[in-house]
Structure 1
Amino acid sequence: MARIMRTRADQNARLMGMTRAQWVILAWVEMRPGLSQNELAALVEVEPITVGRLVDRLEARGILERRNDPRDRRIRRLHLTSAAAPVLEQIQAYRTSLNEQFADILGQPALTALTEALAKIKSHLVEEPATSRKLG
C-alpha cells in the first residue's frame, strides 16, 4: 500500500513539475522553518548531499531559500519563500483528497481507529531500542 501511495504522489507531483521528494522537503520546511540541510536529511532519512540537490532545485525555482545562521556562519537555514504558498496549497489539496477517499472507503470511525492504531505502533517501534527486540 505504501508503494502505491508513493507512486500516486509521484504522479501528482509530476503534474506540478516537481517530485515527491521535493514535496517532502517543502512539507518539512513548512513545519519546521529554519532547519539546516543536515537536520532535514536526518528527518527524511537520506544523505545530506541528496537534500542539498533537492534544495538546489527548489531554490532555483524560487520556492525555498537558504539563509545564514546568525550564530554559526557555517550553517545555512532553510526557509520557504512566498512562491511556495501555491505549491503547499496543492500538496494540502492532494492530502485532503486522499483522506476523503480513505474515509469514503472505510468510514470515518474506522479511519480514525486505523490512524490511531498505526500511530501507536509507530510510537512503540520508535521508543523500543533495537537491542531489546527478540528475534525469532
Structure 2
Amino acid sequence: MHSSEFVKLWSILTKDYKSHMEQELAPVLTEAQLTVLELLLEHPRMKPSEFTPYLATTPAAVTMLLDRMEKHELIERRRDDRDRRVVWITLSEKGRLEAVRGTTIREEFIDQTLSKISSHNQQLLVYLLSKITTQTATTKQSS
C-alpha cells in the first residue's frame, strides 16, 4: 500500500491549488464564494439553505458568507412575491463576471498542472479519481 506516498503527494497538490486560488481570486473572491457563484450560474435562484450541502458548513456560516457577498455586490437577496418569509439569492452582474473570472483561473491552473502528463494519462487520472470518488460516495451513503 502506498498510502503515505499518496497522502504526501495529495497534500502538496491541494496546498498548491489552494494557495494559487487564494492568491488569484483575491481580493474580491474566496473559494467558497466562487462555489456559490457557480451554483447560481447553474440555478438562477436559490434559497440560502440550499447552499449548505455544497459548502460543507453550518447554516450560520452560509448566512455570514452571503452577507459578505451581498456587501460586495456579488449577489442579490430578494423576498419571494408570494411568501415573504422566503428569501431568494440571485447573481448580480458583478457576480456573474467574477464567476467567469474564477472558473477561468481554476481551469488555467488545472490545465497547467495536467499539462505535465500526457493526454492519455490525464484521462486515466480522471478515470481513477472517479473510481475513488464513486466508491467513497457509495460508502458514505451506506453508512
Q: TM-score range by the shorter chain?
A: 0.7 to 0.9
1:3 aligns with 2:19: no
User: Identity, % of aligned pairs?
Assistant: 22
The CA distance in 2 between the partners of 1:71 and 1:4, in whole Å, is 47
Structure 2 residues without counterparts, runs of 5 or longer? 1-12
Structure 1 residues without counterparts, runs of 5 or longer? 132-136
The CA distance in 2 between the partners of 1:76 and 1:123, in whole Å, is 34
RMSD (CA atoms): 2.0
- Correspondence for 2:119 among 78, 103, 108: 108
103-112 vs 122-131, which moves further: 122-131
Indicate the SS of the match to 2:116.
helix
Residue in structure 1 matched with residue 60 of structure 2 by the alignment: 49
Aligned 8 A contact 2:41 2:96 in 1 = no
Residue in structure 2 matched with residue 134 of structure 1 by the alignment: none
- Superposition map of 1:1-136 within 5 A: 1-14=13-26, 16-70=27-81, 72-128=83-139, 129-131=141-143
Aligned 8 A contact 1:102 1:111 in 2 = no
Q: Structure 2 vs 1, CA of residues 31 and 116 (structure 1 numbering), >3 Å: closer, same or farther?
A: farther
- Spell out, residue by residue over 1:89-108, the C-alpha distance to the aligned partner (whole angstroms, 9 max, x if none): 21122122123212311122
The CA distance in 2 between the partners of 1:109 and 1:70, in whole Å, is 52
Aligned 8 A contact 2:77 2:89 in 1 = yes
Q: May I ask how many residue pairs the two structures share in their alignment?
A: 130
The CA distance in 2 between the partners of 1:4 and 1:103, in whole Å, is 13
Q: TM-score, normalised by structure 2?
A: 0.78
Structure with higher RCO (Cα < 8 A, 6+ apart): 2
Q: TM-score, normalised by structure 1?
A: 0.81
Deviation at 1:127, TM superposition (A): 2.1
